[in-house]
Amino acid sequence: MSITASGITNSPFIGLTGFHVAKLINDPASGEATYGEVISIPHIRGIDIKPTSASATLYADNQAVDTANVTSEYDLTIDVATLPLEYKALLLGHEISDGVMVANKSDVAPYFAIAFETTKRNGKKRFCKFFKVQFNEPEEKPATKAENIQYNTPTLTGKAIYRTSDGNSYKQGDEEAGLTGEAAAAWYAAV
């Protein structure tokens, strides 16, 4: 484990790009998780990551003597400029044929790994990958055309949980912290 050196540059985030998904095929309790093909979903607008955490404090002798906390999952909200029907069907486990998607009560949304990158003002990047995410039906708000143009963009929500095979939830790599150009170039090649 390396300790951050004093004076290290840490530029603020100014952009987001590169939203990718890969279907989780198998996540055995003992073994290695396997994934399908990595697929790019274009035009990500924003992502909101909210950890769900719980904490407790132990009191004794009229004072706090210990505290513990746990993060159980991560709630994700992903705004995209558009969500083609093929991607919607893929992410939610719906059937699609000849341009028609059908949502059935028996459909089960599969798990996916997701990956994206944030850009910094100095040109460096931070990469992020969640390993086990299940999506919910996207929020859509169609509206009539009016005097002023208003874009109606879909919002995906999902839950990221810990992978069964190794207990990992996500990983991040940062060019300012030493992520190599080779590792950055391969970030989307596989999970």
What are the Cα distances from residue 152, in Å, to 82, 83, 108, 145, 164?
9, 11, 26, 10, 37
- Judged against a pLDDT cut of 80, whether residue 119 lies above it is answered with yes
- Judged against a pLDDT cut of 70, whether residue 6 lies above it is answered with no
Burial class (CB in 10 A: 0-12, 13-18, 19+), 174: middle
Q: How confident is the model over 16-73, as pLDDT tens digits?
A: 999 999 999 999 998 999 999 999 999 999 999 999 999 999 999 999 999 999 999 9
Q: For the ranges 8-17, 79-88, 173-182, which has the lowest average pLDDT?
A: 8-17
- Judged against a pLDDT cut of 90, whether residue 85 lies above it is answered with yes
- Judged against a pLDDT cut of 90, whether residue 135 lies above it is answered with yes
Question: In this structure, what DSSP letter does residue 139 have?
Answer: B
